[in-house]
């Protein structure tokens, strides 16, 4: 009863989610937030990006509902709002590892013919 062809609108939403996850810096930020809520300055340090750039990417992630924002005095704390992104990354990593392992096999005469 599932997996019927998605509507154009739905397709656009899915595509947008993937687009948000398609920048290394944003993945780095998500990774940095895997351990829990952190303020912007900590994220700037952890990722090595500029403050302006980090701030923009955090905005993108927040607008996509992947992060949530909490202000506390001067600082702004960000945290992962949608844990499913970690499952996504794991799936992709698994798929990539599998492929790379297969490609590596082609160069190792181990049990090859």
Interface ranges with DNA (CB under 7 A): 19, 22-25, 39-41, 44, 49-53, 55-60, 69, 71, 73-76
For 3, the token pair is 């997996």
- 42 in contact with its own copies (CB under 8 A): no
Q: What are the helix (H) ranges across 4-50?
A: 8-20, 24-32, 40-47
For residues 91 and 84, the answer to whether their CB atoms sit within 8 Å is no
Please list, in sequence order, all residues whose beta carbon lies within 8 angstroms of the beta carbon of residue 49, skipping any fewer than 6 positions away: 25, 28, 57
* Smallest distance from its own copies to CB 8, Å: 7
Give how far the C-alpha of residue 36 lies from the chain's centroid of Cα atoms, to the nearest Å.
15
- 11 in contact with its own copies (CB under 8 A): yes
Using the contact rule CB under 8 A, the part of the chain among 36-44, 55-63, 71-79, 93-101 near its own copies is 93-101
Strand extents, DSSP E, 6-113: 38-39, 67-72, 75-80
Angle between the N-to-C axes of helices 51-63 and 40-47, in degrees from 0 to 180, rounded to the nearest 10: 110
Binding-site partner at residue 18 among its own copies, DNA, none, CB < 5 to 8 Å by type: its own copies
* Smallest distance from its own copies to CB 107, Å: 17
- C-beta of 16 vs 98, nearer to DNA: 16
**Residues of the shown chain interacting with its own copies in the complex, contacts defined by CB under 8 A:** 2-3, 5-6, 8, 10-19, 21-24, 27-28, 31, 34, 65, 82, 84, 86-96, 99
């Amino acid at each position: 009863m599932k997996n019927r062809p998605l509507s154009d609108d739905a397709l656009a939403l899915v595509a947008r989610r993937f687009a948000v996850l398609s920048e290394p810096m944003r993945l780095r930020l998500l990774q940095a937030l895997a351990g829990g809520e952190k303020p912007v300055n900590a994220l700037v340090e952890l990722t090595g990006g500029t403050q302006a750039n980090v701030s923009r990417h955090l905005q993108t992630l927040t607008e996509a509902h992947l992060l949530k924002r909490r202000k506390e005095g001067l600082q702004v704390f960000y945290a992962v709002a949608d844990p499913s992104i970690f499952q996504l990354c794991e799936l992709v990593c698994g798929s990539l590892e599998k492929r790379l392992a297969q490609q590596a096999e082609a160069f190792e005469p181990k049990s090859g013919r």
